[in-house]
Amino acid sequence: MYEGDDANLDETPPEESSNRTFYVIAAILGGLILLSLACVAGYVLLVYQPQANSRAEQQTAVAAQNIQVEQGLTGTAVSVAATQTAFATPTLPPTNTPVFSTATATVTSAAASDPATATVAAALTQAAQAQLTVIPTSTALPGTGFADEVGAPGLVIMAVALIVVIFLARRLRTAPVSNK
């Protein structure tokens, strides 16, 4: 049972203020979303598809060029390897050098006749000749990545816009409403 003032029961509750501001903002946001969707669809149809087709053609051309360069390099390397001959090194005439010890003479003669030393010398000679030869190489780099594929700047702009909408909605919800 109610034990308060019965006089207030017959009155109608005060009317709420109109939500015209809410409807206007909702219409503006809805229009922005539809406009954004139309822009994205137009971009995909008019700009992205031709660019994707030209990128595919360009990648095919670069791959074909890389294959030609590789074949040329392989052919050059094979021909250079086939034509390389060992250079004749002049042998110095023997001199009258006094031998101080027999151990030194043995080590010296063993090092001169060692086949591993001759192999190392030949390898160093070929390395020096290779440094003098200029060989073209392919320098194509792929242009792929997550940000290139999904459009990172657009994602950042949309995130900022949605954060602004959140703050705007909270501000409008907490703003005092004047009853006229």
Contacts of residue 65, defined as CB under 8 A and 6 or more positions apart, other chains included, come to: 138, 140
Instruction: Examine the pLDDT at 7 and tell me if it is beyond 80.
Output: no
Mean pLDDT, range 96-102, rounded to an integer: 66
Look up residue 176 and give its DSSP letter. P
Buried b (16+ CB within 10 A) or exposed e, 106-118: eeeeeeeeeeeee
Look up residue 48 and give its DSSP letter. I
pLDDT at 27: 95
Q: Which pair of structure tokens corresponds to residue 158?
A: 């949309």
| Band (116; pLDDT cuts 50, 70, 90) | confident
Mean pLDDT, range 127-131, rounded to an integer: 76
Contacts of residue 81, defined as CB under 8 A and 6 or more positions apart, other chains included, come to: none
Instruction: Examine the pLDDT at 104 and tell me if it is beyond 60.
Output: no
User: For the whole model, what pTM was predicted?
Assistant: 0.30
